[in-house]
Amino acid sequence: MQVRRTAWRLLEATQPVHPQTRAALDRRWADLPEHARTPEQSLGRHAIGCEGTHGVFPRCDLTCTPCYHSKDANKVRVDGAHTLAEVDRQMAFLREQRGPRAHAQLIGGEVSLLAPDDHAAALLSMRRHGREPMSMTHGDFDADYLRCLVTDATGRVRLRRVSFAAHMDSLMRGRRGIPRPRSEAELHLFRQRFADMFAALRRELGVRSYLAHNMTVTPANLDQVAEVVAAVLPMGYQMMSFQPAAFLGDDRRWKEGYRTLDIDAVWAQMERGAGTRLPWAGIQLGDRRCNRTAFGLLVGTRWVPLMDEQEPLDAVARDRFYAHLGGVNFGGTPPVLLLAKLARVLAAHPADLVVGLRYGRSLLHRAGGLRRLLPALTRRHVRPMTFVVHAFMDAAQVAPAWDLLERGETSADPDVTATQERLRACMYTMAHPETGKLVPACAQHAVLDPVENAGLRRLLPLVEVR
């Protein structure tokens, strides 16, 4: 009997995809609009999508133009107890609705306004709920804060790995040392300093990190995107994300004549800075009008794509991956257990090994062969590098489309219908356990944040008023 129970537990533990993950993926695929169910689509086949917090610490200490926060956001006190309670509540709901594993952003206002202990407790809470957290920041904090975040009062390391996304661009005001940057180039020193803090943390404490560089793009800095890409590539980040400015948030901070930027124009600048084509059409996350992603490796100074839609073998490997490995938790599974899961997949689909080897040989050729790759690996000059564009939508677009979706109606207006399609295909989700709903990020920021922050202003005022 004991042998049977042990065998059953082993079978459960090595099941390639957790049953709750499979159920969540199937629901996500069924909920996608028809136009998004393409061979390239990852949502519902491998990824459940990203998640984010809301209403946890809306305040920020920079004054950016534009600013996506509602007018009440900076009138809300940063309160550790409130943050921890909300993070735990929202993550528990996401775990229940979307399965045991996902990437989630600790986001609101400026995360470093949290006390280091509260920040660490929030990250640990997210991990307890199976989320891989990423802290969203403007990056204007020092190494002492970072060290206090990853270590406890005794100096023991409590966070063995951290993920941060640093948003830095010339539209931001109030950064220490450069309160009003006049160009993106003036910020390169600050971008490098931020990455250097994490490199020192790895050397001194063994704490690993994943760093993303974010940047808002407007007509004022569009022609500087290429320069930013070229400068940031060697700094040590693993992702560069660019967001064409959307008209939402505090309209008092919109002091320039903005116009809608074409996602192709931003991507062309990124390719110019990278010095190569950035193939993105082979893997899709959500709606193509919203998201564009190129996954790759930086080998020395050369970017190598992991997926190129112009290579037929890549499409074959992708389709096999989605069909037989979609939903496998690669990042959060112990190596031995992951190998056991992969062995079960290969035992059921042995031809996948041949496809995988052929794909690996093609990727090695792309990277310049062993003569180029091995020296780079020896010198640790190989790292992941992902390029992303997220195109958020204007509040004026989102509000009527979301109102109709909430009523279960599809608009007869083609423009509103297009917005509804994008909302339904959103890859970035917020949890509302009080209503039992999962809300796309654009609806959260354009429609729900202003009401939420007005309520938080009363609940957590900066100054108590009698």
The CATH number that domain 18-309+385-457 falls under is 3.20.20
Over range 310-333, report the average pLDDT.
95
Residue 130: band (very low, low, confident or very high) from pLDDT cuts 50, 70, 90: very high
d(CA 71, CA 365): 53
pLDDT at 464 over 70: no
pLDDT tens string 357-366: 999 999 999 9
pLDDT tens string 154-172: 999 999 999 999 999 999 9
Say what percent of the chain tops pLDDT 70.
96
Phi first, then psi, for residue 384 (nearest 5°) are -65, 145
What pLDDT is stored for residue 3 in this prediction? 66
Closest C-alpha among 415, 423, 427 to residue 442: 423
Name the pairing type of β-strands 428-432 and 50-52.
parallel
Closest C-alpha among 292, 288, 247 to residue 421: 288
pLDDT at 403 over 60: yes
Tell me how crowded residue 363 is: count the other CB atoms within 10 A of its CB: 21
Q: Are 305 and 311 in contact, with CB atoms under 8 Å apart?
A: no
pLDDT tens string 85-109: 999 999 999 999 999 999 999 999 9
The tokens for 248 are 């939402």
What pLDDT is stored for residue 466 in this prediction? 45
Over range 30-52, report the average pLDDT.
97
Residue 258: band (very low, low, confident or very high) from pLDDT cuts 50, 70, 90: low
Q: Which helix (H) or strand (E) holds 126?
A: helix 116-128
Over range 305-321, report the average pLDDT.
97
Residue 336: band (very low, low, confident or very high) from pLDDT cuts 50, 70, 90: very high
Q: Are 249 and 70 in contact, with CB atoms under 8 Å apart?
A: yes
Is 69 strand, coil or helix?
coil
In the chain, where the domains are located: 18-309+385-457, 314-373
Q: Which of 32-41, 124-133, 245-254 has the lowest mean pLDDT?
A: 245-254
